[in-house]
Amino acid sequence: MLWLLDYGAGNVASLANSVRSLGYEFKWIQTAEDIKNADRILFPGVGAFGSAMAGLQKRGFVEPLKEYIASGRPYMGICIGMQALFESSVESPDQPGLGVIPASVGRFTADDKKVPCIGWNGVTERRDIGEEGRKAYGLADGEDSYYFVHSFRADATQPGIQDWILTMTQYGDEKYVSSVQKGNVFGTQFHPEKSGRAGLALIKAWLDSTDSAAKDGSKGLLDVSTKPLREQADVDADLVRKGFTKRIVACLDVRANDQGDLVVTKGDQYDVREAEESETTADDRPSGAPEESSETSSSAPVAEPTLPTSTVSADPSEPPPAKRQRQVRNLGKPVDLARRYYDEGADEVAFLNITAFRSTPLHDQPMLDVLRGASETVFVPLTIGGGIRDSVDPDGTKRSALEVAGTYFRCGADKVSIGSDAVFAVEELLAADGKPSGKTSIETISYAYGAQAVVVSFDPKRVYSKSLEDIAEPHRSSAVDLAGPLRSAPDTKLRDDLGPNGERYCWYQCTVSGGREVRDLDVVQLAQGVEKLGAGEILLNSVDKDGSKSGFDCRLVDLVRSSVSIPVVASSGAGKVEDFTEVFKTTGVEAALAAGIFHRKEVPIEDVKKHLVDEAVKIRKV
Ligand code: 1PR
C-alpha cells in the first residue's frame, strides 16, 4: 500500500489524482502509527518550509518520519517534501528540517531573474546513470521539461549534498539541485504531478520500482551515489541547452449563462455578450467613457453601483433572460476545454470566475466541481481566479479569503488569482504609508501556501493624454509614450499604438469588478504593492486589448515587468503566432496567455509553440 502524507496545507489533490490516473491506490497518513506501519510514503509538500515542518510537528510526525526513513523503506518527497529532508532552510531558519541530507536550503538571488521561479525547465543528470538509470527514474528521452515553482533551492556546491545529487537544473545563472536520491530516499524539487506526461512517467517509475521491490525484494531505484560523476563541462553545457522555458497559458473565463449553466465565455474589452443585438445589460460590460476633455481622454469605465450579493450560478442580480437583448457567448464546457488545452500542449490552464465579484465563492459549487473535474485529467498547473476575498455566505457564515483559497487548493487548484481585492489591499497599503497590515488576502494566503500560490490579476485600462504634462503625478511617472520605444529598453522599437484621437501618451488605470469600476491607482503602484504584500506572480490583462486580436500591449507588459521582481504573465490581445514571439522577445516576459484564438480554434497552441521554436524562443516540447 502506498501512503500519502498531507501536513495540512497545500494542494495535495493533484498528486492524489495523478497517482489514481496511474492505476495505484493509496491511503492518507492520519496518525504517527500510520507512518510506523507504512511500507512506502509519498510526501507531496507544497507551500512554505516553515508551515510544512510546523504541520508535521503538530501532528507528531517528525520523529516517526525520521525513523521511517532510517529503516530503509521507500520515501519520495516532492518540492517541500524534498526540502524537508535537509537540515534547515533560510525560509524559516528557526524551524529544523528532518536532517536526512547534511546540507541546507537557500534562496534564489533575484539579481538576474524573477523569483519565485515559476515554469518549466529541464533536468541534467549529475552522475553517469546511463540509459538504465534514466529508465529507472522515468527520465526517458532526456529532453523532457518539468514544472518548477519555488523561491528556495539547494545549492549544488554544498559538500554534504554531493553524493545525493541525482539531477541539476539551471535558473538564471544559478545551478541547483533539482532531484536527490540515495538508498531508499528520492526527492524532486519540481512537481512531477504537474509536469504532464513526463512527470507522470517519473511518478510511475518510482511506483513501479518500489512495487517490485516490495514484492520480490529487489533493490528498487538505481542508487546514483554509486555511479561515477560526469564531467562538469558536459553537465554545464547540458544545463544551458535545456534551460528555463517560456510558458503558454490557456485562459478560460467562466460564468453562468442565462440558462444557469456554467460556460466558458469570452469578451471583447470584457463585454461577454453576443454582439449582433443592440442593448447590453449594464452589469455585463465595462461602462462607457467618463467625461473626456480634449486633452485627456479615457476609455475607462465609470463606477457603477454595487451589485447585490448572489451566487454565481443563480445570478439573480441580472434581469430575467426574457428581457435580455444579448446572450452570454458560450464557447464550451470548462472541463472539456481545459482537457483539450492540456492535450494540445498548454503549459498552464487558468479559470477566471468572472462574475464572482458578486457571489459568495464557497457556495459556488459548480466552480468547485469544475476544478475537481479538471484536476482529474489535466496534469499541468491550474489557476483559479474570481472571488478570492473575505465573503459572507447567504446564511451569514463568514468566510475568510484564506478559507476560500484553501477550498480551491483542496479541489485541485495550484494557484489562486486575486483581482479586485488586491486593488483594495494596495489602496490600504498606500494609505498606511506602505505598512502591511498582515491581514489582507494576499498576505494570509501567501503566508500559508507560499508566494508562488498567489497570483494577482490586473485589469487595467488606458487613460489617454495628448501630452505628458497633463497627466498628474504619481501616474505621470508611469505613463508611456505610445509612439516611443520600450521604457526599460530604449533600443527596442515598437509600432505606434496611439489613442483613438491620436493621443500619444497614456497611463494605465486599475479597475475592479472586471473593469466595471476604475480606481485612482496605476499599474506600477499596484504591481509594487502586491509584490510587497507577498504575491508571487502577476497576470496582466488589458481591458483595451482584450479580444482585439491586435497583439499584446508590449509597452504595458514592459512597464509592469520592469517594476517588480516577480514573474509576469502577459495577457489580452493575442491574434496570431507572431504576437507571442513579439511579446517574449521585446519584453522578456515569463509567460503569455490567450483565450479567444484558442477557444475558436483560430490558432492552435501547437502552432504557437512551433513558431516560437523557429524563432529560437525556448518552450516546453509536449
Ligand atoms: O475581482 O478577484 O473577483 O476576479 C475577477 C477575475 O475575473 C479577474 O481576474 C478579472 O480579470 C476577470 N474578469 C472579470 N470580468 C471579466 C470579463 O471579461 N468580463 N475577464 C474578466 C478577464 C481577461 C482575460 C482574457 C484575456 C485574453 N478577461 O481573462 O482571458 O484578456 O483574452 P484574449 O486572448 O481573447 O484577448 P475578482
What was the ipTM of the complex prediction? 0.98
Supply the pLDDT for residue 341. 98
Supply the pLDDT for residue 217. 66
**Ligand 1 nearest atom to the CA of residue 352, by list position:** 7
Supply the pLDDT for residue 316. 38
pLDDT tens digits, 498-533: 999 999 999 999 999 999 999 999 999 999 999 999
Does 356 sit in the ligand 1 pocket, CB within 6 Å?
yes
CB 179 within 8 A of CB 189: yes
Among the CATH numbers 3.40.50.150, 3.20.20.70, 3.20.20.140, 3.20.20.370, which is that of 251-288+312-457+537-614? Answer: 3.20.20.70
- Give the pairing type, strands 348-353 and 382-385: parallel
Supply the pLDDT for residue 162. 92
Residue 376 has pLDDT above 70, yes or no: yes
Of the candidates 450, 375, 377, the one whose C-alpha atom is nearest the C-alpha of residue 413 is 375
Does 574 sit in the ligand 1 pocket, CB within 6 Å?
yes
Instruction: Give the distance (Å) from ligand 1 centre to CA of residue 152.
Output: 31
Does 525 sit in the ligand 1 pocket, CB within 6 Å?
no
- How many other C-beta atoms are found inside a 10 Å radius of the C-beta of residue 58? 11
Instruction: Give the distance (Å) from ligand 1 centre to CA of residue 424.
Output: 17
Our answer to whether residue 459 is catalytic in this structure is: yes
Residue 309 has pLDDT above 70, yes or no: no
Supply the pLDDT for residue 276. 65
**CB-based contacts of 108, cutoff 8 Å, min separation 6:** 115, 116, 117, 151, 152, 153, 171, 172, 174
- For residue 522 the three cell numbers come to 496605476
Residue 313 has pLDDT above 50, yes or no: no
What is the average pLDDT value for the chain, to the nearest integer?
Answer: 88
Our answer to whether residue 191 is catalytic in this structure is: yes
- Quote the CA–CA distance of 433 and 532 in Å, as a whole number: 12
Bridge partners for 274 per DSSP: none
Residue 289 has pLDDT above 70, yes or no: no
pLDDT tens digits, 11-66: 688 899 999 999 999 999 999 999 999 999 999 877 788 888 998 999 999 999 99
**Ligand 1 nearest atom to the CA of residue 267, by list position:** 18
pLDDT tens digits, 145-198: 999 999 999 999 999 999 999 999 999 999 999 999 999 999 999 999 999 999
Supply the pLDDT for residue 366. 80
Confidence tier at 291 by pLDDT (50, 70, 90): very low
Residue whose grid cell is 501616474: 475
Rounded average pLDDT over 347-357: 90
Does 547 sit in the ligand 1 pocket, CB within 6 Å?
yes
Sequential DSSP letters for 228-282: PBPPHHHHHHHHHHH---BEEEEEEEEEE-TTS-EEEE--BTTB-B-SSSS---G
Instruction: Give the distance (Å) from ligand 1 centre to CA of residue 269.
Output: 9
- Quote the CA–CA distance of 429 and 525 in Å, as a whole number: 10
**CB-based contacts of 201, cutoff 8 Å, min separation 6:** 138, 140, 144
Residue 458 has pLDDT above 70, yes or no: yes
CB 29 within 8 A of CB 35: yes
Whole-model pTM: value is: 0.91
Burial of 95 (0-12, 13-18, 19+ CB in 10 A): middle
Does 133 sit in the ligand 1 pocket, CB within 6 Å?
no
3-state SS class at 161: helix
Supply the pLDDT for residue 257. 83
Residue 474 has pLDDT above 90, yes or no: yes
Residue 542 has pLDDT above 50, yes or no: yes
3-state SS class at 375: helix
- Give the pairing type, strands 41-43 and 2-4: parallel
CB 444 within 8 A of CB 401: yes
- For residue 490 the three cell numbers come to 530604449
Rounded average pLDDT over 440-454: 92
Rounded average pLDDT over 558-562: 98
Residue 292 has pLDDT above 60, yes or no: no
Give the mutation target among 358, 440, 456, 459 for probing the ligand 1 site: most ligand atoms within 8 A of CB: 459
Give the mutation target among 269, 315, 440, 541 for probing the ligand 1 site: most ligand atoms within 8 A of CB: 541
Of the candidates 175, 337, 334, 315, the one whose C-alpha atom is nearest the C-alpha of residue 259 is 315
The residue ranges of every structural domain in the chain are: 2-242, 251-288+312-457+537-614
Residue 224 has pLDDT above 80, yes or no: no
Supply the pLDDT for residue 361. 59
Our answer to whether residue 79 is catalytic in this structure is: yes
Does 351 sit in the ligand 1 pocket, CB within 6 Å?
no
Residue whose grid cell is 505621470: 476
Confidence tier at 607 by pLDDT (50, 70, 90): very high
Ligand 1 atom 26 nearest Cα: 572
Supply the pLDDT for residue 306. 30
Give the mutation target among 309, 355, 544, 572 for probing the ligand 1 site: most ligand atoms within 8 A of CB: 572
pLDDT tens digits, 385-417: 999 999 888 888 899 999 999 999 989 999 999
Query: CATH number of the domain at 2-242, please?
Result: 3.40.50.880
Supply the pLDDT for residue 294. 32
Residue whose grid cell is 453562468: 256
- Give the pairing type, strands 480-481 and 591-594: unpaired
Of the candidates 481, 457, 233, the one whose C-alpha atom is nearest the C-alpha of residue 352 is 457
Instruction: Give the distance (Å) from ligand 1 centre to CA of residue 352.
Output: 6
Distance of CA 153 to the CA centre of its chain: 18
Of the candidates 98, 4, 88, the one whose C-alpha atom is nearest the C-alpha of residue 44 is 4
Supply the pLDDT for residue 105. 98
Instruction: Give the distance (Å) from ligand 1 centre to CA of residue 362.
Output: 20
3-state SS class at 29: coil
Rounded average pLDDT over 212-234: 78
Rounded average pLDDT over 123-143: 85
pLDDT tens digits, 68-115: 999 999 999 999 999 999 999 999 999 999 999 999 999 999 889 999
Q: Please give the biggest Cα pair distance in the chain.
A: 82
CB 169 within 8 A of CB 239: yes
* Element (DSSP H or E) covering residue 168: strand 165-171
- Quote the CA–CA distance of 549 and 583 in Å, as a whole number: 13
Rounded average pLDDT over 325-353: 93
- Give the pairing type, strands 568-571 and 537-540: parallel
Confidence tier at 360 by pLDDT (50, 70, 90): low
| Catalytic annotation, pick one of 6, 125, 193, 318 | 193
- For residue 460 the three cell numbers come to 487595467
Main-chain dihedrals φ then ψ at residue 240, nearest 5 degrees: -70, -45
Supply the pLDDT for residue 310. 31
Integer angstrom CA distances of residue 459 from 98, 121, 211, 256:
43, 29, 49, 21
Does 459 sit in the ligand 1 pocket, CB within 6 Å?
yes
Does 357 sit in the ligand 1 pocket, CB within 6 Å?
yes
Rounded average pLDDT over 107-135: 91
Alpha-carbon dihedral 260, 263, 267, 270, rounded to 10 degrees: 60
Residue 317 has pLDDT above 50, yes or no: no
Residue whose grid cell is 489514481: 20
Burial of 330 (0-12, 13-18, 19+ CB in 10 A): middle
Local structure of residue 511 (DSSP, 8 states): E
Supply the pLDDT for residue 227. 86
Supply the pLDDT for residue 256. 85
